[in-house]
């Protein structure tokens, strides 16, 4: 627990320091908070409630199947109150997607805080932190891959940040392992896909995968990629030897 708490605290600090380039990609497509909202916390809370409700509806129905009425019904409010904060469902979806993409990049960058030679607990803390993040946003992100508004600027910004995020993972795997990868960015995509898909399956009770078991398995795989080479006796090696 102390190791997890330490990595978590470092992550919060690093997220603020290293957000610059990611935010630059997305700043133009996210709606700035109104001055009136900054002065009136209640207004900001209401706006966040709309975002949370919309995330839940988009997760279940997708962008194409969602109507503004679905979002307002989720909060039991009149549709007019929705339009005080957002122009339409496209507007609120793009804001959700923008924030989610930026938060994903920040969560992944916590890998940069792990030192070369760190023990397995540091990697477990990182995987656990990502699972906690995916608990909040994972279903929305997965559903949005194939169902999002046809907004070229938004999609281009998200694609740039996804590429940057994958690159971070690949470069960190190289740094931590001391070995070169043939394609760091693609390796990063594969690791992120493993994390997201494993989280999704562990969340699905039909898959018969426990959360703790999944976190442990992913940690083992990542640690095997970056840890020192070890020669251990195993049933497979024993059979080969004979």
**Tens of pLDDT, residues 138-183:** 778 777 777 888 878 878 877 888 888 899 999 999 999 999 999 9
Give pLDDT, residue 172: 95
Residue 112 has pLDDT above 80, yes or no: yes
C-beta separation of 152 from 119 below 8 A: no
Dihedral over alpha carbons 37, 41, 47, 49 (to 10 degrees): 180
Upper half-sphere CA count for residue 104 (Cβ side, 13 Å): 30
Sketch the domain layout of the chain as residue ranges. 30-228
Would you state the pLDDT for residue 229?
A: 52
**242 pLDDT exceeds 70?**
no
Q: pLDDT of 219-241, one tens digit each?
A: 999 999 997 654 444 444 444 44
Mean pLDDT computed over 216-221: 97
Q: What angle do CA 87, 45, 143 make, to 5 degrees?
A: 60
Q: Tell me, what's the pLDDT at 78?
A: 93
Segment 50-70 mean pLDDT: 92
34: pLDDT strictly greater than 70: no
Look at residue 6 in the predicted model and tell me its pLDDT. 39
> According to the model, what pLDDT value does residue 198 have?
93
pLDDT of residue 228: 67
Contact 19, 106 (CB under 8 A): yes
pTM given for the model: 0.70
Encode pLDDT of 187-204 as tens digits: 999 999 999 999 988 987
* Residue 114 pLDDT greater than 50, yes or no: yes
CATH topology of domain 30-228: Tetracycline Repressor; domain 2 (1.10.357)
Average pLDDT over all residues of the chain:
79
Extract the tokens encoding 90: 């496209």
**CA 102, CA 149: separation in Å to the nearest integer?**
18
For the cut 60, the answer to whether the pLDDT of residue 8 exceeds it is: no
């Amino acid at each position: 627990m102390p190791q997890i708490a330490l990595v978590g605290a470092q992550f919060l600090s690093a997220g603020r320091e290293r957000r610059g380039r990611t935010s630059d990609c997305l700043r133009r497509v996210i709606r700035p908070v109104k001055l009136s909202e900054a002065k009136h916390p209640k207004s900001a809370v209401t706006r966040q409630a709309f975002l949370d409700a919309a995330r839940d509806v988009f997760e279940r129905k997708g962008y194409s199947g969602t109507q503004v009425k679905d979002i307002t019904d989720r909060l039991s409010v009149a549709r007019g109150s929705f339009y005080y904060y957002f122009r339409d469902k496209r507007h609120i979806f793009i804001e959700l997607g923008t924030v989610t993409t930026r938060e994903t990049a920040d969560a992944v960058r916590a890998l940069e805080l792990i030192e070369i030679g760190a023990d397995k607990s540091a990697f477990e803390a990182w995987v656990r932190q990502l699972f906690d993040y995916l608990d909040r946003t994972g279903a929305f992100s997965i559903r949005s891959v194939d169902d999002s508004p046809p907004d070229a600027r938004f999609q281009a910004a998200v694609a740039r940040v996804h590429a940057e995020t994958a690159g971070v993972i690949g470069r960190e795997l190289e740094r931590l392992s001391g070995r070169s990868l043939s394609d760091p960015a693609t390796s990063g995509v594969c690791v992120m896909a493993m994390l997201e898909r494993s989280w999704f399956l562990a969340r699905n009770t039909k898959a018969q995968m426990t959360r703790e078991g999944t976190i442990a398995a992913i940690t083992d795989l990542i640690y095997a990629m970056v840890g020192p080479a070890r020669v251990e006796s195993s049933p497979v090696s024993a059979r080969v030897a004979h």
